[in-house]
Amino acid sequence: MAEGLVPIYVMGRRYEVPDGLTIMSAMEWIGYKFIRGCGCRGGFCGACATVYRLPGDYHLKGALACQTTVIPNMYFTEIPYFPAQKPLYNLDELDNPAEALFKMFPEIKKCVGCGECAKACPQKIRPIDYIAAALRGDWKLAADLSFDCIMCGLCAARCTGQLAPYNIALFIRRFYCKNVRPKPQQIIDRNKEILNGKYDKAVNELVRLSEAELKKKYDNRDFEKL
């Protein structure tokens, strides 16, 4: 093998790629073109969930392809989308949110507390903790504990109880922000300004501009000084 190259197995096929590349860059170096399974490339969007194993180790590991560098002889595959139930709900019609949680996600009862979800999570989140907090009625804690979830789906791929914890987390944060958290004063003030027409003139002027004029205006906008 040429110096500086490491062997990896992509969906069962062996390749040699430069050491130090991320899984995503290694796949592109091999010749894969991402039209799915790649978004931000910065560890934020969760599009590049990947599962891999190392030789002699039965543990199935999860990673983000854009953030994880290749390990010699790892064999992996990307799972760009993981199917999951996503119930529809109206946040204004929920009298008892904890009860609603069980109604919408009855599989919560199948959580056995095994912790496999947490082991798979690239964000080190423990879904059991935020689900438990929500069921106790501590929506703030539940929202905080799930805040870093990037919806990659790796927890769902591993869950013994067949939960899709990220959809539960999404409901928790939506409910917390809409029904529990005090509304920030600046948002209330800005909404009032908008409704009172403070920005109508400026918006109407923008709408009348040509594309070239808009671009020029954008390029010459005031930048916030850091």
User: Which DSSP state fits 106?
Assistant: G
- Would you say 45 or 108 has its CB closer to ligand FES? 45
Instruction: Report 164-183 residues binding ligand SF4 (CB under 6 A).
Output: 165-166
Contact 126, 146 (CB under 8 A): no
Q: Which stretch binds ligand SF4 (CB under 6 A): 73-81, 87-95, 125-133, 211-219?
A: 125-133
Q: Please tell me whether residue 188 binds ligand FES under the rule CB under 6 A.
A: no
In total, the chain counts a number of residues equal to: 226
In order, the DSSP letters of 173-187 are HHHIIIIISPPPHHH
**Alpha-carbon distances of 225 from 186, 216, 221, rounded to whole Å:** 21, 20, 12
Q: Please tell me whether residue 120 binds ligand SF4 under the rule CB under 6 A.
A: yes
H or E element in which residue 139 lies: helix 139-146
CB of 42 to ligand SF4, least distance (A): 14
| Six-digit token string for 211 | 């594309």
Choose among ligand FES, ligand SF4, none what residue 48 binds, the Cβ cut-off being 5 to 8 Å by kind: ligand FES
Taking residues 134 to 163 in sequence order and writing x for each that binds ligand FES by CB under 6 A, - otherwise, the string is ------------------------------
| Six-digit token string for 223 | 């930048």
What phi, psi does 24 have (nearest 5°)? -65, -45
Instruction: Report 39-68 residues binding ligand FES (CB under 6 A).
Output: 39-41, 43-48, 64, 66
Site residues, ligand SF4 (CB under 6 A)? 46, 111-117, 120-121, 123, 125, 127-128, 149-155, 158-161, 163, 165-166
